[in-house]
Chains A and B, each alone.
Chain A
Amino acid sequence: MKFDLPSFLMGYGAGAGTMLLGKHLRPLLMEVATAAYRFVDRVAARAAMKQEDIEDLLAEAKARARGSERTRPVGEAQA
């Protein structure tokens, strides 16, 4: 098989990187992963909150609309 320097360098780099990762970078990776999770969670929470807000808004609008329809004849009669 022909020796290909870029492939060799990439392979060597990946191996050395893994060793480094295991020994020294685990705490850092942990922080990176925690921050990533935190970010995703925050985005998910934000999205869900907005969804709830819309749901609340629509529910109230529906209740008001149906409520006013029910009360209108009484109001008109009073007028």
Chain B
Amino acid sequence: MVFLMDGQAAPARVVRHSTTARRLRLEVPGLQWNHVLGERLERTFATWPGIQEARAEPRTGRLLVRYAPEAPLLARLRQQSDEPVPWPVPHQARPVLGTRSAPQEPWHAMTVEAVLARLDGTDQGLTSDEAARRLKHYGPNLVVAEKPRSRLSMLGSQLATVPTLLLMGSAGASVLAGDTVEATAILTVVGLNAGIGYRIERRNQELLASWQKLEAGAAQVLRGGVLLTVPVAELVPGDVVLLRAGDVLPADVRVLDAHRLTADEAPLTGESEPQAKQAAPVDARAPLAERTSLLFAGTAVASGHGRALVVATGADTEQARVRELVAQESAPPTPLTRKLGQLDRRVAVASVGAAGLSALVGLAHGRSGAQVLRGAVALGVAALPEGLPLVATAALVRAMQRLHARGLVVRRVSSAEALGGVTVICTDKTGTLTRNEMRLEVMDLGDGALELSSLRPRPDAVLEDPPTLALALALLNSDVDVHRSGKELAVSGSSTEKALVDAAHAAGLDGAALRRAFPRCHLLERSEGIHYVVSVHGAPGGGMVAFVKGAPEQVLTLCERDLKGPLDARTRERLARRNDALAADGLRVLGLAWRRLPGDGRHAPTDGYTFIGFVALRDPLREGAAESVRKARGAGIRTVILTGDQPRTAEAIARQVGLEGDTLTPATLARMLELPAAELARRLERTAVLARVTPENKRDLVKALRAHGETVAMAGDGINDAPALQAADVGVAVGVRSSDMARAVADVVMASEDLRSIMSAVGEGRIVQDNLRRALRFLFATNLSEMALVLGAGLLGLAEPLTPLQLLWINLLTDTLPGIALAMEPGDPAVLDRPPAPPGMPLLTRPAVRRVVRDGALMAGVGGLGLALGGPPLAFGTLTAVQLGYSAVCRAPTQTRRHLPADGEWRLPAFIGGAAAVHVAALTLPPLRRVLGLPAPTILTFGGLAVGLVLPALMSAVPRGKAHD
């Protein structure tokens, strides 16, 4: 309904209308917590005829109206159901974008006239009034950006872990038992762990936020025939935008007219070569990459200029559709999160079980309630590895820092470990394996490929010297803009022609001088069915020449001779074979030809040309691409190329980087995904290349691989990679030029574009895994020893050997310091020479658990000996000492450490030394002794300390001669 207030219409929803009671309850937007509006509404309603009472309730945002029997207007209202109807609550309200979708049509298949008619526009643009109306109708041209994670949820995720909750429970129990110091200490531990985790996540988010690129700000738009600069958010369907080289498209647009217009669509479709755009409609079923009459938001104009009509804005664009795909996909938990979660649950069960057992034993021995509670808290605290979050964080942060030094930012901290378990790397080709810039690779003038670096062009004899002629022709026949930026020449245009011009410049030809010597008279563009460009130039000695560059098979049909003589059938066949060989190698091949023209040369003939030779170009591999694929294979990791390019180009790249296996297309992938699991697994194992893919295909392949037990890392830089980056175990956004969306969903962002960094990241991940296993072994064995000691003493009816505070002291200081040092040990240099750990492998394997139980029992035995000889204080001293000594046993094998640089080697001895000093302080300094409830030290105390420190090393040395991991 609508009611009037101060002459303005305001909407309200009828919550309930009882005609019997003549009561109307309305929900008014904006009324909640707005007392002023409430009073105004009450005043307004009071002036209406027949209104008995109007009462606004700012707490609920509702208004109650009671009216007289014959009151006009209100009596006609129908009663509505009492069911709550969704209604935007102010704090949940988001800008409602694109409230109404623009008409969805196959714009690419419609003629310009049909598109204009459908959108009710003209080629001179909309009027400003009409644009304003449409802006209101369709909403602003914005895509809802991903909201950064709130600080609160970041802190919440640190606190919502099982051990933290149990610790908080223990703190509560301590308060109940009257031990406030214990409770404070436990809560400090919780705060410390949460604070560190929070700080790390926050810093990473800030770092990435500083990398955010600025969105395109304004577009050149024709409105009522006048050229205006309009903020991109205000573009509406029906607007006419002007396109120039370098523009980033602000919306999906339909080409109205184009002059050599090409667009770089790599971010959206993965096509490495800019796509020519024209106004002519294409087949309605054409895939995205072949819709040559459309340009898409987020892509860029590579060359040429033109005009286009906006057909989709905001949430209707193709880019927004990909974003939607990303939103549908939730990032899987990293293996570490999963495994630590599993471990947490087990530890929680053990802790609660131990506390329960301790309580039972206490009750059986007839202890008081407070004593039982204290004993249960002690055992619960003993069972929980309080240092584990700190230790795990230390291992991950060390990896993060080392990765950061190599130009990688880890967004999700636990991804640093996940990298270590990667079994498959899926990588985008364009821009990730290759540079996304064409380069002249081969020039063949009839005698095989020429060595390009040794070419010495002769500008004085362009038409006489074949290599000079080929380079000059390529330069003069190309339509690029060359301008000076500082000391360097900047060339803009299609990537192929740019590469040719760059090659001519690099060989030493002066483009400006050549253009003066060979002034261009006219240029015949490629057109339907004609895949070559003809340019006609004045020649230095008088007369005219025509230069041709284009598809070799067509160029050859124009020629009657080559540089050596007339072209016979055999020569033509030889040239065709050469062309095929180059193309099969993934190169883009062009044929070059020329001829002198008779007369004024106004009409270039279509015969009588001399074939000069072939030039072949390719998007070269990135530095280190082949090496990283080789390294990956050595590390037991398979690489799969996912690309929007043609299968032949992708296969050529796969060959270059040394990948062998099947090439899939979307159709074969779809068929494959329907196969039975075993057959699918077999086929997935053989897959090396997936070509012509859409973002969905990439995501489907990643999900299929994950479903078959692989741990998948996806490396990519485009918008089209985002869904796959999200679906992978580890998403790696490659390069500073990677799209904002790729960076937003990736777990790891690489500033550098060197793929070798990924492999070093995998190495770091494996070091994290190794170190975590060692640290876990240490922490669990020491905790088990405490638990066994406390429980054993309880069962035997002895005095409580360790108080909760003493246990916290051990777990936090004397255990955590060596634990952190173990977690930060330098890695094995041969870490990449072994296969990855199986994805399902737990953090503590069965043999490791057996070792933990054995070592824990032995340490508890030493503590028990201390308890028997000197009572609880000696038990505290010896148990702590033996735990410190045990940390040296958990180190990496010595033969691994021998080859390492000294950095990090000092850490464990220093940390053990530090912890030992802290422990000695606890045993000797009176204030600390008072807090921990320890008596003055005796000789026995120091004796126990010394024995405890050296015993584990001696014991591990005796039976096996060396320490094993």
Interface of A toward B, CB cutoff 8 Å: 3-6, 10, 13, 24, 27-28, 31-32, 35, 38, 41, 44-45, 48-49, 52, 56, 59-60, 62-64, 67
> Cβ of A6 and Cβ of B151 under 8 Å apart?
no
Question: At the interface, is chain B mostly helix, strand, loop or mixed?
Answer: mixed
Nearest CB of A to B113, in Å: 54
How far is B17's CA from A59's CA once the two chains are assembled, in angstroms?
A: 12
**Interface locus among B56-64, B825-833, B854-862:** B56-64
How far is B574's CA from A15's CA once the two chains are assembled, in angstroms?
A: 86
> Cβ of A31 and Cβ of B152 under 8 Å apart?
yes
- 11 pairs, CB–CB < 8 Å, chain A vs chain B: A3-B927, A5-B927, A13-B188, A41-B33, A45-B60, A48-B60, A49-B62, A56-B16, A56-B18, A56-B23, A60-B20
Interface: B128 (CB within 8 A): no
How far is B66's CA from A62's CA once the two chains are assembled, in angstroms?
A: 14
Considering the complex, which residues of chain B in the window 458-493 have a beta carbon less than 8 Å from any beta carbon of chain A?
Answer: none
Q: Which residues of B contact A5 (CB under 8 A)?
A: 927-928, 930-931
Query: A48-B57, A56-B16 are contacts. A63–B184 as well, Cβ < 8 Å?
Result: no
> Cβ of A56 and Cβ of B155 under 8 Å apart?
no
For the complex of A and B, list the 9 residue pairs with the smallest distance between their C-beta atoms, beginning with the closest.
A5-B927, A63-B21, A48-B59, A31-B152, A28-B151, A60-B21, A63-B20, A60-B18, A59-B21
The interface bits of chain B over 152-186 (1 if a CB of A lies within 8 angstroms of the residue's CB, else 0) are 10010000000000000000000000000100100
> Cβ of B57 and Cβ of A52 under 8 Å apart?
yes
How far is B25's CA from A45's CA once the two chains are assembled, in angstroms?
A: 15
Nearest CB of A to B928, in Å: 7
Name the contact of A60 in the complex, choosing from B23, B64, B927 (C-beta under 8 A).
Answer: B23
Nearest CB of A to B147, in Å: 13
Name the contact of B931 in the complex, choosing from A6, A49, A59 (C-beta under 8 A).
Answer: A6
Interface: B101 (CB within 8 A): no
Q: Which residues of A contact B61 (CB under 8 A)?
A: 45
The interface bits of chain B over 59-84 (1 if a CB of A lies within 8 angstroms of the residue's CB, else 0) are 11110100000000000000000000
Interface: B527 (CB within 8 A): no
> Cβ of B152 and Cβ of A28 under 8 Å apart?
yes
How far is B150's CA from A13's CA once the two chains are assembled, in angstroms?
A: 27
Interface: B285 (CB within 8 A): no
Q: Which residues of B contact A28 (CB under 8 A)?
A: 151-152, 155, 198
Nearest CB of B to A9, in Å: 9
How far is B547's CA from A63's CA once the two chains are assembled, in angstroms?
A: 97
> Cβ of A6 and Cβ of B181 under 8 Å apart?
yes
Nearest CB of A to B45, in Å: 17
> Cβ of B18 and Cβ of A63 under 8 Å apart?
yes
How far is B202's CA from A24's CA once the two chains are assembled, in angstroms?
A: 11
How far is B926's CA from A4's CA once the two chains are assembled, in angstroms?
A: 11
Interface: B32 (CB within 8 A): yes
Q: Which residues of A contact B57 (CB under 8 A)?
A: 48, 52
Considering the complex, which residues of chain B in the window 1-54 have a beta carbon less than 8 Å from any beta carbon of chain A?
Answer: 16, 18, 20-23, 25, 32-33
Q: Which residues of A contact B564 (CB under 8 A)?
A: none
Q: Which residues of B contact A64 (CB under 8 A)?
A: 20-21
Q: Which residues of A contact B25 (CB under 8 A)?
A: 52, 56
Known: A28-B155, A49-B62, A56-B16. 19 other contacts (CB 8 A): A4-B927, A5-B931, A10-B184, A13-B188, A31-B151, A38-B91, A44-B59, A45-B59, A45-B60, A48-B57, A48-B60, A52-B25, A52-B62, A56-B21, A59-B21, A59-B23, A60-B23, A63-B20, A64-B21
Nearest CB of A to B175, in Å: 15
How far is B25's CA from A56's CA once the two chains are assembled, in angstroms?
A: 9
Nearest CB of B to A4, in Å: 8
Q: Which residues of A contact B930 (CB under 8 A)?
A: 5
How far is B20's CA from A45's CA once the two chains are assembled, in angstroms?
A: 27
Nearest CB of A to B90, in Å: 10
Output the nearest chain B residue to A61 by Cβ-Cβ distance: B21
How far is B184's CA from A63's CA once the two chains are assembled, in angstroms?
A: 60
Q: Which residues of B contact A3 (CB under 8 A)?
A: 927
Output the nearest chain A residue to B66 by Cβ-Cβ distance: A59
Nearest CB of B to A28, in Å: 5
How far is B841's CA from A19's CA once the two chains are assembled, in angstroms?
A: 44
Best-buried of B16, B150, B152 by chain A (most CB within 10 Å): B152
> Cβ of A67 and Cβ of B60 under 8 Å apart?
no
Nearest CB of A to B362, in Å: 27
Considering the complex, which residues of chain B in the window 917-935 have a beta carbon less than 8 Å from any beta carbon of chain A?
Answer: 927-928, 930-931
How far is B152's CA from A3's CA once the two chains are assembled, in angstroms?
A: 38
Q: Which residues of B contact A13 (CB under 8 A)?
A: 188
Best-buried of B21, B150, B927 by chain A (most CB within 10 Å): B21
> Cβ of B152 and Cβ of A35 under 8 Å apart?
yes
Query: A44-B59, A48-B59, A49-B60 are contacts. A67–B151 as well, Cβ < 8 Å?
Result: no
Q: Which residues of A contact B59 (CB under 8 A)?
A: 44-45, 48
How far is B20's CA from A63's CA once the two chains are assembled, in angstroms?
A: 6
Q: Which residues of B contact A62 (CB under 8 A)?
A: 21
The interface bits of chain B over 880-901 (1 if a CB of A lies within 8 angstroms of the residue's CB, else 0) are 0000000000000000000000
Nearest CB of A to B428, in Å: 36
How far is B198's CA from A24's CA once the two chains are assembled, in angstroms?
A: 11
How far is B820's CA from A48's CA once the two chains are assembled, in angstroms?
A: 53
Best-buried of B32, B151, B931 by chain A (most CB within 10 Å): B151
How far is B184's CA from A64's CA once the two chains are assembled, in angstroms?
A: 61
How far is B58's CA from A41's CA once the two chains are assembled, in angstroms?
A: 11
How far is B930's CA from A4's CA once the two chains are assembled, in angstroms?
A: 10
Output the nearest chain A residue to B180 by Cβ-Cβ distance: A6
> Cβ of B152 and Cβ of A32 under 8 Å apart?
yes
Q: Which residues of A contact B60 (CB under 8 A)?
A: 45, 48-49, 52
How far is B61's CA from A68's CA once the two chains are assembled, in angstroms?
A: 33
How far is B69's CA from A67's CA once the two chains are assembled, in angstroms?
A: 13
Output the nearest chain A residue to B22 by Cβ-Cβ distance: A63
How far is B66's CA from A63's CA once the two chains are assembled, in angstroms?
A: 12
How far is B80's CA from A56's CA once the two chains are assembled, in angstroms?
A: 14
Query: A6-B181, A41-B33, A62-B21 are contacts. A27–B151 as well, Cβ < 8 Å?
Result: yes
Output the nearest chain B residue to A49 by Cβ-Cβ distance: B60
Q: Which residues of A contact B155 (CB under 8 A)?
A: 28, 32
Q: Which residues of B contact A45 (CB under 8 A)?
A: 32, 59-61
Nearest CB of A to B454, in Å: 61
Output the nearest chain A residue to B18 by Cβ-Cβ distance: A60
Output the nearest chain A residue to B21 by Cβ-Cβ distance: A63
How far is B53's CA from A59's CA once the two chains are assembled, in angstroms?
A: 14
Output the nearest chain A residue to B188 by Cβ-Cβ distance: A13
Considering the complex, which residues of chain B in the window 645-667 have a beta carbon less than 8 Å from any beta carbon of chain A?
Answer: none
How far is B90's CA from A45's CA once the two chains are assembled, in angstroms?
A: 13
Nearest CB of B to A29, in Å: 9
Output the nearest chain B residue to A27 by Cβ-Cβ distance: B151
How far is B62's CA from A38's CA once the two chains are assembled, in angstroms?
A: 18
Q: Which residues of A contact B21 (CB under 8 A)?
A: 56, 59-60, 62-64
Output the nearest chain B residue to A64 by Cβ-Cβ distance: B20
Output the nearest chain A residue to B57 by Cβ-Cβ distance: A48
Output the nearest chain A residue to B930 by Cβ-Cβ distance: A5
How far is B199's CA from A1's CA once the two chains are assembled, in angstroms?
A: 38
How far is B23's CA from A48's CA once the two chains are assembled, in angstroms?
A: 17
Best-buried of B181, B199, B927, B930 by chain A (most CB within 10 Å): B927
Nearest CB of B to A39, in Å: 11
How far is B22's CA from A60's CA once the two chains are assembled, in angstroms?
A: 8
Q: Which residues of B contact A27 (CB under 8 A)?
A: 151
Nearest CB of A to B659, in Å: 48
Nearest CB of A to B328, in Å: 27
How far is B931's CA from A4's CA once the two chains are assembled, in angstroms?
A: 10
How far is B930's CA from A41's CA once the two chains are assembled, in angstroms?
A: 47
Output the nearest chain A residue to B64 by Cβ-Cβ distance: A52
Q: Which residues of B contact A52 (CB under 8 A)?
A: 25, 57, 60, 62, 64
How far is B371's CA from A69's CA once the two chains are assembled, in angstroms?
A: 69
Nearest CB of B to A25, in Å: 9
Output the nearest chain B residue to A10 by Cβ-Cβ distance: B184
How far is B19's CA from A64's CA once the two chains are assembled, in angstroms?
A: 10
Nearest CB of A to B42, in Å: 16
Q: Which residues of A contact B928 (CB under 8 A)?
A: 5
Nearest CB of A to B496, in Å: 51
How far is B155's CA from A10's CA once the two chains are assembled, in angstroms?
A: 23
